[in-house]
Structures are given as C-alpha cells and as structure tokens.
Structure 1
C-alpha cells in the first residue's frame, strides 16, 4: 500500500481492507510477534499543526518525526519532558522515530521517575478504528475531559485498537543547567541502595541509572540550585564512594546503547528492590543495565536459548508483579513465544473485549501483542 498522507485516506484504507493490516510509521518499533499483512504506511501524516509555546501545547500529525518536534520545541527553549526512547539503534532500523509511535507504545525514558510517562503528557488523540471510523478524544488543554479517557487507552496499545493520526501534547520548558553524579564500582544491589537514597532525598533527582558498574544520578534546574543540590547529594551518598560530576549522555541509558550488539534484548519492569534479583537470575553471559532507580531493567544476550530464557524471565517477573517484553530477538522466537507479558485472565478478557469493540474484524496488527 502506498504511503498515506491524510486522515481521510487512512480511514478509507482501513474501511476497505480485506485482510490484516500492519500499521507502520517510521518503522523503528518493530516489536512483538511478526504480523503478516498489508503494510499501512502512515508516515505521510507529518507536520506540526499547532504550537503555542505560551500555553505549553503542541499538536502534530502522528507520522511527524520526533526529531522534528524536538527541534521545534528547542527553538522556544522547550522539550518533551518524558524523554521518549528510540529503538532504531537497538533494532538496527533506518527509519525515523515518530510521535505516533511514541504515544502508541507509551515510550518513556529516564525522566519518567520525576516527570511521568508519555501518556501523562498526551492531551488528546485522533485515530481511525478498525472499521474506518475517525475518533477524537481529549483536547488541547489539560482541563479538557470528555467522556472516556481514550487517550490513555491508546497509549501503549501498539496500534491494535486504532491507527493514530494526530496527537496533542503538553510540553515543558527546558532547564538552565544539568549535571550527573557518577559513583564507580557498585554492584546491582549496592546501586539500588544508592539510587533509592538519592530518589528519597529532597534534591529532585531526574534520572537514576546503573550502567556498566556506574551509578548515574541526574540533577536539573536553575544553575545555582543544581550546584547546591549536587553538593548535598554528594554528602548524602558519601558512604557509597566518591561522586564525580560529569556531563553524561543520557541517551546511553534511554536507548540501552550498551546492548545494541546483543542478539536478544528484554525490557523488564519490576519494583526497584527486585531489579538486582532479576539481574542475578539472568544467564552468566547476559548483560544488563538499570533505569528508574532499579525499576526498569534492560537485559541482553547473544547465543544461548533465547526462548527458554524468555520463558524463565517472564515467569520470574510475573511472581514479582512485573512484566517483561522481548524487545529484540530472532523472528522465529518472536513468532513462537508471548513477546509481551501474558495478562492475568481477567485483564485478558477485558483486553479482548476492547479489541472487539475497536477492531471487530481483527485487522489492526493482529496477534502482535497476543495470539
């Protein structure tokens, strides 16, 4: 199917579809079970249609590259506070991450522990459901609440409930200064203790990660405030070792850069206190990093039995009340295993009911998230 450039064209294509559709924007988030069907290319839905810096509001078509939105915001000294991660490097794709893909997957980066997730900044959405009907929900200001919160429902649905065509976002001002404190030589358990102490302090840490034996703690804000808080945090964490102030590149954490060469990569969400246990249970040749103070574990491995490791990881985190997603892996494995964490029976029934309501013919990314 040709690239579609209008919402009307998307609606017509969905309404006339005779079989499964593979919804695709920039093509950088090819996660989940492989879907066989006709590609519905919505990357032509591109462009910022409304931007009001004074109101901290931006509206963009779903196929708009995130880089374009970030450049537009930077010109007004503003930013996307939820720091969306980009899977292009990890998955080895050449496309550009789009804002529709970000919201559809609820892609949230290191700053989530302080600012919130992508879905918390989505004010409104327009999308085409599985029968070709255009649906609008939410608005362009935070106080606009109309009916069911389909904005939250679409965030994280991975294109299985509707094809996003437009998103309205709340944006925030950029910061004047930023510094990262680095503590060397901590194992996973020590790292979580240090990060927990930092996050529990009054010093407003906006990033807490463990990367290759280093704890990274980010502080942002006005220059004087950052300097003061960094000094206080150094004293608070003195028992864990010396803290060095560096200008760290947080895309290393955000995009799990140390794992880009791995054959299989998991994104695992658990309680921060469970992060070290997850890492300890991985195969000896696996590598991992932690974000969100230990609550998000990125794990990667090359070789070995990926399917068996995946089953073990999902079983373990299910007992912890968490979830694990196979972000990257051989296509044959992704076709055979539940890539996303299996849902509890009650939740699975609710999910099936929602899909029946929004996509009664089962044509939007069928089987991507579940069989």
Structure 2
C-alpha cells in the first residue's frame, strides 16, 4: 500500500490488525526480513522549507535524497555527514530517501570530522505504533522540547515509528579538497598513518584504507587545503611515498567509492560491518583471517569502521568483541539464521524493549527486523 499523507498513514497504522513492513525507497534491505503488509511511505515527499541562510532544511521523509542534495548544491551547501548509497553493495534498486537515510543513520567517511546523520537532525515527525502523530525537535540546534526522540529514531530501522518529516542542519560545501594517497602499506602501518593524520592539527575530513590504498582527505578554502595537504605529506613521508590528488572531480570519485563501498559492488560474499576502536581494527581483521577466508577488507573512519567480505553463510562475529558487528549483506536464509545486529547487553536490551513497548505497544512496526 502506497501512502501519500501523514494523516492517511496514521489511519492505516491505527487500524492495522497485524504486522507492518515499512518501506521507503527500498534501497536498504538490511536486518531480518520483516513480515506483514508492506507500507510504502515514499509518497510523503517534497521539500517543505529550505532556508540557506539559516542552514536548515525540512522535507518529507519520502523525499529522494538526490533531490535534496541537488537543492543544497545549487546554494553551495551539503549534508556534511556524507550519507552513503548502499545500492551497489546490496544489489538493490529504487531511490534512497531521507527517511531511509535517518532510519539507518547512514553516515559516510566525513563522520570523523562532521559527526553522524543523527548529529545533523534538528527534529522529526513520525507516526508511532498506535497511529499517533508525534512531533519532536524543531528547526534550530538549541530547540529544547523534551526527550530527544529525533536522535532516538536515527538507526532504529523503522521499529519505533514511521517518519513522515525530517528537519536537518546543513553546512556550506568547501571551496576545495585534496586527498593524500599512499600505496603499499599493510593494515598496521595504514592505521598508524591514519591515526597520525587524524591527531594532527590539519583538520582531516576522511581517512580510509583498503585495496584502493591509504587515503587522507582535507577540505576547505583553497589556500588552506594547499597548505594543510603539503604539511600532511611531509608528516606522512616516513610511512612511504605520498602523492597528493587535487583535482576536485578525482577527489570526489575516490571518496564516493569509499562511501558507497565500491570494492564490494557485485561480489558474491556476505559483508559485515564492524564498529570498533581504531587501535583494535588490525587485530580484529587478523583474527577473522585466522578463523576463515576473508575476501576483502575496507577500513573507514581512520579504522573505526571495518567492512569485511567473507564466504556466504558464515557468522563472523567474534566471541568477544569490543564494539558492534552488523551483517550488512547476506541471503534471506542467512539473515534469518544469524542475528544481523549486535546482541545487546541485558541492561541495554531492557531499555530497548521498554522503548518499543512505549512507541509500538502492539509490536507491529518492522517486527523482528533488529532481532
């Protein structure tokens, strides 16, 4: 069923007699398959308010992300957290939407500098599991209206409410960008190089490593970018040869490949995402390789985010993991058999259960998706 308004959605949820499977653009098929009637909310779309001078944008949750990014680009602005497009990774079609972006907290390489999607949220409107329309937050960062439900919904995968409207903070796009490229570094060397760059005073906005090499990005005013990239090249020279890419289109293409997981596009294996302390990343990957075949690895966020491809059907989650593991790509059978999301500790699980009982008392919104 395709919904075209918040009021219609409220009525459908209120009258529902069974589980509902929430769908926006249909591009982020992650987690356990949710049973129930499909509710397509992509019709609740359109930019409602855009104030470039105030750095704020309000749009329907079904608004295509590309539409928002085009409107921002026309004013020299952007979503600073660099939302990822996982269609190539997951083999899905459709159109990424604002609601799907927030529901998955999709955040790209610039998270190390600009924060995550949830950090840019100013407010949301959503329909809860009882059909009630809820508004939280506003259009300014200091708006205080009680509990911060906007950030709570980010990364909830549609299990707490169905978003209908999203308010976001936007930022100016940089005048220039450069990327330092190093090749031939092993994982430990790359981790040390990325850590050194991120701990430097040169305001790094991306640090990644994989088959693409080791990449360090700086952005800003042209003269500042030239100065900082030069200083970083000098600082990183002991790790190996450094080349500096300054062409804007080439720099954008490099980081688009990191953001959208280009090395995993069209490959046959399952893909896991690990969120760990950067210093733990090389040991994590070494352990995974000792346990079985690992096809490819990509480090992002300076090593804090590790993408790993392995043979289909394997549970890569270590017995002891200081962090989180998510099964991002696998067959429906594998996702039904292996818990796709990191199991929660007992106290956190109790809090999560309490929240779901409050916002979805009948348990009808994407039931089991995060189980």
Mapped partners of 1:323, 1:269: distance in 2: 5
Shift in alpha-carbon separation, 1:39–1:30, aligned structure 2, 3 A? same
CA contact (8 A) 2:25 2:96 kept: yes
CA contact (8 A) 1:124 1:140 kept: yes
Q: Please list every run of 5 or more consecutive structure 1 residues that lacks an aligned counterpart in the other structure.
A: none
Alignment partner of 1:230 is 2:234: no
Alpha-carbon distance, 1:266 to partner:
0.8
Alignment partner of 1:244 is 2:250: no
Mapped partners of 1:91, 1:198: distance in 2: 31
CA contact (8 A) 2:293 2:310 kept: no
Alpha-carbon distance, 1:314 to partner:
4.4
| SS of 1:286 mapped into structure 2 | strand
Q: Which residue of 2 aligns with 1:106?
A: 105
Alpha-carbon distance, 1:213 to partner:
5.9
Mapped partners of 1:106, 1:94: distance in 2: 19
CA contact (8 A) 1:314 1:323 kept: no
Alpha-carbon distance, 1:281 to partner:
2.0
Mapped partners of 2:366, 2:38: distance in 1: 10
Q: Which residue of 2 aligns with 1:264?
A: 270
After superposition, give the CA deviation of every residue in 1:143-198 in whole Å (9 maximum; x if it has no partner).
Answer: 11101110111111110000000000000000000010001101111100000000
Mapped partners of 1:135, 1:367: distance in 2: 23
Q: Which residue of 2 aligns with 1:280?
A: 286
Q: Which residue of 2 aligns with 1:336?
A: 337
Mapped partners of 1:42, 1:100: distance in 2: 9
Alignment of 1:1-371 (within 5 A): 1=1, 3-212=2-211, 214-246=213-245, 247-248=250-251, 249=253, 250-260=255-265, 261-282=267-288, 283-303=292-312, 306-307=313-314, 309-310=315-316, 313-317=317-321, 320=322, 322-370=323-371
Mapped partners of 1:24, 1:132: distance in 2: 17
Alpha-carbon distance, 1:262 to partner:
3.5
| SS of 2:207 mapped into structure 1 | strand
Alpha-carbon distance, 1:212 to partner:
0.6
| TM-score normalised by structure 1 residue count | 0.95
| TM-score normalised by structure 2 residue count | 0.95
| SS of 2:319 mapped into structure 1 | helix
CA contact (8 A) 1:21 1:364 kept: yes
After superposition, give the CA deviation of every residue in 1:29-75 in whole Å (9 maximum; x if it has no partner).
Answer: 11001111100100001110000000000000000111110000000
Shift in alpha-carbon separation, 1:62–1:244, aligned structure 2, 3 A? same
Mapped partners of 2:329, 2:319: distance in 1: 18
Alpha-carbon distance, 1:274 to partner:
0.9
| SS of 1:237 mapped into structure 2 | helix
Mapped partners of 2:170, 2:108: distance in 1: 15
* Runs (4+) off by over 3 Å: none
Alpha-carbon distance, 1:337 to partner:
1.5
Alpha-carbon distance, 1:362 to partner:
0.3
Shift in alpha-carbon separation, 1:183–1:330, aligned structure 2, 3 A? same
Q: Please list every run of 5 or more consecutive structure 2 residues that lacks an aligned counterpart in the other structure.
A: none
Alpha-carbon distance, 1:333 to partner:
1.0
Shift in alpha-carbon separation, 1:32–1:26, aligned structure 2, 3 A? same
CA contact (8 A) 2:88 2:261 kept: no
After superposition, give the CA deviation of every residue in 1:253-305 in whole Å (9 maximum; x if it has no partner).
Answer: 111110121321111100001111122122334211100000000111244xx
After superposition, give the CA deviation of every residue in 1:104-141 in whole Å (9 maximum; x if it has no partner).
Answer: 11111100000001001000000000010000000011
| SS of 2:178 mapped into structure 1 | strand
- Between the two proteins, the alignment pairs up a number of residues equal to 361
Mapped partners of 2:366, 2:92: distance in 1: 19
CA contact (8 A) 1:195 1:293 kept: yes
